[in-house]
Chains A and B, each alone.
Chain A
């Protein structure tokens, strides 16, 4: 703001104040008045910003909290809650849905279940052994998460699955 002030200020300097019509000393070009007005403007903006900051933080609060929750790195799941062999299940990974797949050969895959096209939540289709997005027909590979066909531009974000006795530990890569 002070930059702007200076810039305007220097623009006014070449204009000798005594050239102004005497009855209009304060119209808009008297240097003292201009600086006074600019100072008032800066103070006003500062005041407004002081009001706007709490309002912004008040409104942003839930999103900021969610962002903190989204930073979750690891989720533990009891095997009893995991899908049966050949099935997939949508689970919570922080604030996001994840898709956990229990492959026929006993291996596990897990992905963030948000379609890379327009953000719908994808599902595992056991019959086709692939991941499908119901919204626009995008198809992903069930073991790698690679976008196989349809509109998705990118593969699904993969999570690692580690077996630990009767638990599964799912981690961000």
Chain B
């Protein structure tokens, strides 16, 4: 094969040189190790294979975040000048509007792909042994992505950013208020929470340029510093254990199960998906450039119909709805408890629905997944209906 190829190319000398270069590098860098991994890694092929692309798509949008984030850093000023610098990026710097739109749209698409990825992993039961840590590292990455979103949302310091962040922080502040006053230490807990949030998170008694500085360092240094190693572990685990096939495919006899090599076959398909993703991003950014609202005014009223990003909408609506039934801090605490318990159950699913756990547990887990989707969708739609009503 190699001989006929080089003969056909009439470039045997070049081929030889290439081999020599590879041997030289291999001796020093141990390239064979990676080539072996690439050669042996396969991806199962079945009717659900489509769902294998979504982790890679999330990774693609994350890469876009890094690159556009680096570009935005060149003109963005945290602190009191934040709004002005974003205004300059959006309205004055050549193609600044495009870079910023890319960053914002890609953030949303990343969250979307990540959710699809998480739910497809869930329904394929890919969290089962030996892939539990893939599930847990993935949940960690998802949680940090939400923090990326929350901290990044404040940075332009327009009125929506200002009030969304204010509300997000107030929710945390209000939680200890649910502890009944007769319990010793409840007042202390409330004071302590307020003090810690003011001193450590907000950098003052309310959201200000100081908060922007803190969220900025969180957004561009602290979170990436933790996110990148965790992402590396997540990907190494996929390399180590390979893609999980859903139980229905695993149950098939060996000869009926098909797979394709990861490199180059699946990789090329991955690239094609990324190209499509890039074009979607380009389309969205060009057709609907990310807006910049009026500058945040701490003395003005919050704008009508203010609401969080869509990926916080379900949590927002849950708190809002519970607040109508259970006014005050109790409602918020109840909501936070429900969210916390739900998240914990979600994280513990690999321990409950194990390979040998039986059909009942498998079915309960799947039902739990559909329940989660139904609740999230219902709350999100309900939230948007409420917001649109308020906006009129």
Contacts and interface: CB of A to CB of B under 8 A. Distances in A.
Q: Do A and B come from one complex?
A: yes
Interface of A: 15, 20-21, 23-24, 27-29, 54-55, 57-61, 64
A24 B99 contact: no
Contacts of A21: 4, 7-8
Contacts of A28: 5, 8-9
A54 B4 contact: no
A57 B71 CA distance: 12
A64 B71 contact: no
B326 interface: no
Contacts of B93: 58, 61
A21 B4 CA distance: 7
Given A24-B5, A55-B71, A55-B95, 5 more contacts: A21-B7, A27-B4, A57-B95, A58-B98, A61-B92
Contact of B95 (A15, A20, A54): A54
Going nearest first, the 10 A-B pairs with the smallest beta carbon separation are A54-B95, A57-B94, A61-B94, A58-B95, A27-B8, A61-B93, A21-B4, A27-B5, A28-B9, A24-B4
B284 to A, nearest CB: 15
B104 to A, nearest CB: 16
A27 B2 CA distance: 10
A27 B9 contact: yes
Interface string B37-74: 00000000000000000000000000000000001001
Contacts of B99: 54, 58
Contacts of A29: 8-9
Contacts of A54: 94-95, 98-99
A38 B8 CA distance: 18
A27 B10 CA distance: 12
A60 B94 contact: yes
A64 B93 CA distance: 10
Contacts of A55: 71, 95
Interface string B165-193: 00000000000000000000000000000
B71 A58 contact: yes
Contacts of A58: 71, 93-96, 98-99
Nearest to B275: A47
19 contacts: A21-B8, A24-B4, A24-B5, A24-B8, A27-B4, A27-B5, A28-B9, A54-B94, A54-B95, A54-B98, A55-B71, A55-B95, A58-B94, A58-B98, A59-B74, A60-B94, A61-B92, A61-B93, A61-B94
B121 to A, nearest CB: 31
A24 B10 CA distance: 14
A41 B74 CA distance: 32
Interface string B1-26: 00011011110000000000000000
Nearest to A28: B9
Contacts of B98: 54, 58
Interface string B253-278: 00000000000000000000000000
Contacts of A60: 94
Contacts of B74: 59
Nearest to B102: A54
B92 to A, nearest CB: 8
A52 to B, nearest CB: 11
